[in-house]
């Protein structure tokens, strides 16, 4: 029983990080019907921004509360700016083009970021993985029995930050004028423009918001995994995309549920089978869900005219 509880805690901690990245996929898909494959790589850029900020602060300052706040703030604001630039100069000119064009562009941006960051020129970090600074010193926060169940402080902090960001997003989408405008654009951006909604601004702000969330998730992942590399965005981004599809891409609560389920499935496979099966079972779980619910757990299948 204690082993089950430990895996449950670990799975939920991993799932909340996937959820923050998956929310970015589902928000952009919601307003543009675009699968932004560059989203994971934007997350990677945010992690490197946090890495550089932590080293600029120094060993003592980076472990203080205000130091952690500064690291997250710099990474999230920097990624929001990057998301704005990507939307403005790469996706907006293609908005009225076939969706396949924008999709291929997204893949191109993804590879440009992940492989561009492997160059060792100027501020670019190079291909070698680097140890992420220990901004949160690991300590046992809660222990049950003779260390049968251990909850680490970084798991609690990650969970609280992730839940806080998701609650703020939920409030923004469903309780504010911006959220109302975003939902209107998601139904039909042309009709929304005729109704006086500034669609360009709403879409740009959606990209900025999703990119900021990705940066926050990336930092939480780097704190857990303790390493950062230019290709980390491909792996984490793919898992988050799978989570968004499982939940029903375009559905905000679905992305969260899908991410938590994926985190639990991966953790139970590692705990009760073999770690080498983790990815195979995760993608097998995706196929199983789509066979039963083609639109994802909370999504809808819309008929298209041909």
Distance CA 217, CA 256 (A): 13
**Separation CA 55–CA 53 (nearest Å):** 5
What's phi and psi for 86, nearest 5 deg? -65, -45
Is the alpha carbon torsion for 146, 147, 148, 149 positive or negative?
Answer: positive
Averaged confidence pLDDT in the chain: 86
- Those residues whose C-beta lies under 8 Å from the C-beta of residue 291, and which sit 6 or more positions away, are none
- List the helix and strand counts (H, then E) for the chain: 12, 4
Residue for token digits 């909370």? 298
pLDDT tens, position by position, 73-120 = 999 999 999 999 999 999 999 888 888 898 899 999 999 999 998 888
pLDDT for residue 130: 87
Flag the least confident range among 15-29, 146-160, 207-221, 264-278: 146-160
How many C-beta atoms surround the C-beta of residue 225 within 10 A?
Answer: 15
pLDDT single digits (tens) 42-57? 999 999 999 999 989 8
**C-beta of residue 217 within 8 angstroms of C-beta of residue 21:** yes
95 burial (CB, 10 Å; 0-12 / 13-18 / 19+) is middle
**pTM higher than the cut 0.85:** yes
Check whether 301 has a pLDDT greater than 70.
no
Distances (CA, A) of 61 to 56, 57, 102: 9, 6, 42
Terminal CA-CA length for the chain? 53
Sign of the alpha-carbon torsion through 58, 62, 67, 72: positive
């Amino acid at each position: 029983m204690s082993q089950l509880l430990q895996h449950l805690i670990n799975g939920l901690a991993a799932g909340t990080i996937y959820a923050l990245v998956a929310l970015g996929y589902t928000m952009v898909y919601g307003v543009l019907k675009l699968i932004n494959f560059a989203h994971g790589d934007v997350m990677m850029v945010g992690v490197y921004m946090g890495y550089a900020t932590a080293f600029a602060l120094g060993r003592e300052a980076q472990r203080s509360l205000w130091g952690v706040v500064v690291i997250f703030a710099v990474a999230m604001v920097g990624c929001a700016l990057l998301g704005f630039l990507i939307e403005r100069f790469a996706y907006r000119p293609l908005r009225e083009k076939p969706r396949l064009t924008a999709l291929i562009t997204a893949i191109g941006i993804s590879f440009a970021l992940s492989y561009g960051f492997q160059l060792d020129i100027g501020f670019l970090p190079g291909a070698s993985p680097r140890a992420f600074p220990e901004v949160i010193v690991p300590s046992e926060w809660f222990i049950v029995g003779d260390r049968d169940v251990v909850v680490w402080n970084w798991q609690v902090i990650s969970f609280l930050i992730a839940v806080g960001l998701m609650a703020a997003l939920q409030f923004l989408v469903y309780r504010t004028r911006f959220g109302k405008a975003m939902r209107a654009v998601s139904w039909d951006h042309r009709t929304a423009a005729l109704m006086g909604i500034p669609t360009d601004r709403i879409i740009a702000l959606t990209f900025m918001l999703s990119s900021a969330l990705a940066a926050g998730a990336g930092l939480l992942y780097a704190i857990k995994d303790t390493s950062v590399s230019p290709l980390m965005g491909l792996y984490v981004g793919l898992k988050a995309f799978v989570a968004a599809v499982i939940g029903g891409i375009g559905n905000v609560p679905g992305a969260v549920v899908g991410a938590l389920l994926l985190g639990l499935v991966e953790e139970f496979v590692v705990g009760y089978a073999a770690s080498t099966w983790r990815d195979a079972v995760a993608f097998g779980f995706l196929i199983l869900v789509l066979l039963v619910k083609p639109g994802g757990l909370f999504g809808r299948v819309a008929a298209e005219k041909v």
